[in-house]
Structure 1
Amino acid sequence: MPKALLMAGVLPMGKKQNSGKNNVFDRLIQEERIFRNREALASTYIPPEFPHRDNEINNVANILKPALYGARPSNILIYGQTGTGKTAVAKFICKQIVSKAEAEGKKIHTAYINCKQTNTPYGILTNIGKTYSNDWEDKVPNAGWRIDKVYSALKEKADEDGGIAIVILDEIDTLVSKSGDDILYHLTGLNSDLNNSKISLIGISNDTRFTSWLDPRVKSRMGEESLTFAPYNALQIENILVQRAKMAFHEGAVDPLVLSYCSSRAALEHGDARKALDLLRISAEIAEREGQEIVTVKYVSKAENVMEHDLVRSLISTLPLQPKVTLASIILNRGSKENGQQTTGEVYNTY
């Protein structure tokens, strides 16, 4: 076995390496001096309380309240910029209403569907079907049936199981742009075909214009209620960071100035609390890797560089081949130009 491959770790080095002795993670785990609960900073984390979203929570809860009486709640469209708490609040309210329903012996199902990941009518219908039955996947395949057959199976299962289903369609504009509004037409009209169950939809979007693409009938049905989540300001974002920092870090592990700095930076990005949380998390991770016990402002600057680099790399990696080659041509030409200016002809020749 070539020694170079062994040294590079491409090939296994034998049983001795798997003995568990001197495991590299032993030291790293012992050095967990900053974080207490990393999940508290994750974008998917649902906190027990939402600072500065009391009105929005009450509005959504009041709209969904009829489900506790066995009636179908109005469909809701929730608008707002990225990082304004739309998805987290919707998930929080659905969790709360299911808990209340269980305590009172009522039947309420909830489903969360990210339409960037699931953006076909087939996928939407099967995801809703799973909320009604654990054995849905045994009866309905993930692909292969005609869409009308899946629709009929969903109607049958909904009436068989009963209750109210509340379905969150996150980034609903992506679904419409990819697959059109036929699926929304069928979903909003499904209740007229059901006898023992009702379905209510919560559409979430950061694009207020997407309803202009909808058929007037779909627009009327989907937009029975509309809510807008305003961007957070710097002080509100800082309050959110203070709440999360208490859960995420050991006491004294983060300089208070870090929270202020992260919140002010995120406020410039249309009040994006999610960016502030990411910035705080990455700052702490960098400080931890460097063996520090306290996260200071200098690590926020380092985190910004990391996030900017990741964003640029992500944008470039998703470009089609021809734009990538064009960009490479421009970069290659820069080295031969003192002032950095280029003509289209020069770029073309390099291309």
Structure 2
Amino acid sequence: MKQLRARRAAWGLAFLLWQLGPAAQAMDPITVGFALASAAASALTGIISYPKVYCYFAECCADRPVALVREELKKNFDKRLFGQHLVSQVVVKAVGGFLSNPNPKKPLALSLHGWTGSGKNFVSKMIAESIYEEGLRSRYVHQFVSTLHFPHQQNVGQYKDQLQTWIRGNVSACGRSIFIFDEMDKMPAKLIDSIKPFLDHYEEINGVSYRRAIFVFLSNAGAEKITEVALDYWKRGKNREELPLSIMQETLSTSVFNNKNSGFWHSSLIDRNVIDYFIPFFPLEITHVKMCIKAELKSRGYPVDDYMVTQIAEEMTYFPKEERLYSDKGCKTVHTKLDFYYDI
């Protein structure tokens, strides 16, 4: 982030010096400082006239090359997302295909489901960072956490108005806005239906087009059903990688639609098929937990000690009780485990 701001500041200074011309080279630093101040106002007008130049040192609502988005997503998923073959396949293709379409018929809507620690927040973060360099800190990326922003069922009417106003205002400012809804399973029932018009196949609503926006929903709802299907495959001697997306999408959409605690209970978003992909995050096995530990060690600059990795992984808890096949916290507590073992 500091490098990004430094680069933008450098470009801003370079642009102002360019505005001053060759005479600036003969000035002493103090004179240049006064000259820069006097040139700033006129240069700003010039910058506005050159949006591509301006966007080098200030964040813009502008598209990054689709090839770069795909490359960044794939690279991050390969390095840091483990045990989620369907997620890697679907998200890269869905996001890349959507961004490459100059005239999408509707916004992109992704619903991510699975146990805590399986990678949902990581994937939403990577989607944001692949499109905007500042990621979740970008002014064009908006994150809602149900327990923080929508804590009271009795205020659903007020929340609906606020949510519609917020989305309308931000998409008006930037068509390529990203909206992330975390803890969907804790969202008051029927609240999410208020944004259904923004996700549907409308060219415009009151003069605003929402078709270039991206909506991402994160939920623990459906995790039991994902585990049930994955465990059944394991008991039949099949690999989880053999599970097709079509089966999991149908299973998930039905499960969350009929679950009163899903945030999507009898939701028009599902009934009207405006969610493009229901993406399952499988529970992580011990081999995947070890991969998380190794990745965290490398990110901290520590040597990878296989004995230590195994010891940490085996200390974590797993389910079902007899098989001890899946980590009940995924990779969520890996960093705290390493803090304990590598306390210096």
TM-score by length of 1: 0.50
- 2:184 equivalent among 167, 172, 185: 172
Contact 1:232 / 1:267 at 8 angstroms: preserved in 2? no
Q: Which residue of 2 aligns with 1:202?
A: 216
Alignment of 1:292-303 (within 5 A): none
Root-mean-square deviation (Å): 3.7
Contact 1:171 / 1:205 at 8 angstroms: preserved in 2? yes
- 2:193 equivalent among 182, 185, 188: 185
Partner amino acid, structure 1, of 2:189: G
Distance 1:268 1:67, change over 3 A: same
Q: Partners in 2 of 1:239 and 1:113 — Cα distance?
A: 30
User: Percent identity at matched positions?
Assistant: 12
Tell me if 1:277 matches 2:335: yes
Give the secondary-structure state (helix, strand or coil) at the position aligned to 2:310.
helix
Q: Which residue of 2 aligns with 1:49?
A: 79
Q: Partners in 1 of 2:160 and 2:278 — Cα distance?
A: 30
Deviation at 1:267, TM superposition (A): 6.0
Deviation at 1:112, TM superposition (A): 2.5
1:202-238 deviation line (CA, Å, top 9, x unaligned): 2111221543232252333464311111122212211
Q: Which residue of 2 aligns with 1:117?
A: 148
Q: Which residue of 1 aligns with 2:59?
A: none
Distance 1:155 1:224, change over 3 A: closer
Q: Which residue of 1 aligns with 2:95?
A: 64
- 2:120 equivalent among 51, 76, 86: 86
Distance 1:55 1:47, change over 3 A: closer
Deviation at 1:55, TM superposition (A): 4.4
Partner amino acid, structure 1, of 2:257: T
Distance 1:148 1:229, change over 3 A: closer
Distance 1:59 1:267, change over 3 A: farther
Q: Partners in 2 of 1:51 and 1:154 — Cα distance?
A: 32
Partner amino acid, structure 1, of 2:340: I
Contact 2:86 / 2:280 at 8 angstroms: preserved in 1? no
Q: Which residue of 1 aligns with 2:266?
A: 215
- Show structure 2 runs of 5+ residues with no match: 1-75, 223-254, 320-325
Give the secondary-structure state (helix, strand or coil) at the position aligned to 1:117.
helix
- 2:283 equivalent among 228, 231, 235: 231
- 2:129 equivalent among 78, 87, 95: 95
Q: Which residue of 1 aligns with 2:316?
A: 266
Q: Partners in 1 of 2:193 and 2:81 — Cα distance?
A: 36
Q: Partners in 1 of 2:220 and 2:337 — Cα distance?
A: 21
Runs of 4+ in 1 over 4 A off after TM superposition: 145-149
1:60-90 deviation line (CA, Å, top 9, x unaligned): 1322231453534432221111111111012
Give the secondary-structure state (helix, strand or coil) at the position aligned to 1:79.
strand
Deviation at 1:186, TM superposition (A): 1.4
Distance 1:156 1:242, change over 3 A: closer
Partner amino acid, structure 2, of 1:118: H
Give the secondary-structure state (helix, strand or coil) at the position aligned to 1:232.
coil
TM-score by length of 2: 0.51
Q: Which residue of 2 aligns with 1:246?
A: 298
